[in-house]
Amino acid sequence: MKITYPGMGYLSPPVRHMLESLAIEVAEAPPISKRTVELGTLHSPEGVCLPYKISMGNFLEGLERGADTIVTMCGAGKCRFGFFGEVQRTALAHGREIAFWSLNTERLLADLYRFLLRAAPGAGCIAVARSISLAVKKLRAIDALSEARNYYGPRAAAPGRIIDLCEYGAGEIALGGSFAEINYSRDLIVDIMASLARADAPEPPRVALVGEFYVLLEPYANRWIENALIRQGVEVKTFVHTGGWAYAKTLLQAFGLYNEEREYLAQARPYFSGHVGGDGLKSVGTSLQCARQGYDGIIHAFPFGCMPEIVAQYALKNIAADYGLPLLTLSVDEHASDVGMTTRIEAFVDCIKRKKGGSRL
């Protein structure tokens, strides 16, 4: 068995080390590139969203590297993500002998545990449980680095150094073999970031980055928007983190301690009164929370054609109007231009900086 899986942000290194620690052979797809998107688009239905196309490209590139088993996720809800697995399984089955595993996000811990026991029959239950726990711990530690980068980056004289530290720290954490090593690497990198921040730095503008899960987490899909904002002196607040999601969907959900819909429905009222599928409810709830906390702007990023986020967009426009907040909407697909994205982000940052500067006059 030689496994491949889709990439997404900093998910891949901890997952790869989890599998390899159980002596499972991995054929990881290369970093997402223009070729990945083109390959995935070529083998995707017309009109399907960008996350589908990129993950399809990941699978095809993994198969080129010798993989014979594909592992991915599926989930319930009013989003097309729930159908990704079956459609991709059918498309990839033509002329190929491959095994296809879909892990249901509504029972992720149980599905993942059963898969690892099947893929590594000699590992044992304790080793499998430990490998899952260690992977989740790594992802949550990298979450902490990302949050520290977003906070200290715009307050540093050289934001690029903070960004580079985050990348370096994520790699060190992914290699950690114990909880103590992970904690040490996380705390050390965060302390170094803090030491590089200027004590006399003025408070930077704060922007909430909301939208669809995959686009927010995969830098290639969002054109490294967080780093771009940090380099322009903007503090970015995100509410979607790979580690936080993995922790909630495995441990918390398994014990009935996680109900995202109930949490964000309370935050989204009166602009939303029900779940619209995908991350639409979360986008509205978190945006309203940030508007009430005095944030300087909202960026809404999602794949072109994503219906839950299109519905959420109307509520976000009302929130922006009611609270006097600048709102930037970024709908991305395989035709998105780096230059166009950069120009829009720079114009948005200029807008919020002028508005924030004017409010102090």
Q: Mean pLDDT score of the chain, rounded to an integer?
A: 91
Q: What is the pLDDT of residue 359?
A: 53
Percent of the chain with pLDDT over 90: 69
pTM of this prediction? 0.92
Burial (CB < 10 A; 0-12, 13-18, 19+), residue 40, is buried
Q: Residues 6 or more apart from 317 whose CB is under 8 A from it?
A: 327
Q: What is the pLDDT of residue 77?
A: 61
Question: What range does the domain containing 86 cover?
Answer: 2-128
Q: What is the pLDDT of residue 361?
A: 38
Q: Is residue 36 part of a domain?
A: yes
110, 145, 168, 28: CA torsion to nearest 10: 20
Q: Is residue 79 part of a domain?
A: yes
Q: Which amino acid is at 83?
A: F
C-alpha distances out from residue 328 to 176, 193, 217, 299, 351, Å: 38, 29, 18, 5, 11
Euclidean distance between the first and the last CA atom of the chain, given in angstroms as a whole number: 65
Q: Is residue 45 part of a domain?
A: yes
Stretch among 58-72, 148-162, 179-193, 270-284 having the lowest mean pLDDT: 270-284
Q: Name the β-bridge partners of 303.
A: 332
What are the pLDDT digits (tens) for 335-356? 888 888 899 999 999 999 998 8
Tokens of residue 46, six digits: 């017309």
Give the number of domains in the chain. 1
| Mean predicted confidence (pLDDT) in 257-272 | 82
Q: Is residue 82 part of a domain?
A: yes
Burial (CB < 10 A; 0-12, 13-18, 19+), residue 30, is middle
Q: Residues 6 or more apart from 256 whose CB is under 8 A from it?
A: none
pLDDT at 195 over 70: yes
Q: What is the pLDDT of residue 360?
A: 47
Q: Name the β-bridge partners of 304.
A: none
| Mean predicted confidence (pLDDT) in 236-246 | 90
43 vs 85: which has the higher pLDDT: 43
Q: Is residue 35 part of a domain?
A: yes
112, 115, 117, 123: CA torsion to nearest 10: -80
Q: Is residue 245 part of a domain?
A: no
| Mean predicted confidence (pLDDT) in 310-339 | 93
Find, among 114, 112, 91, the residue nearest to 40 by Cα. Answer: 91
Q: Is residue 178 part of a domain?
A: no
Q: Is residue 90 part of a domain?
A: yes
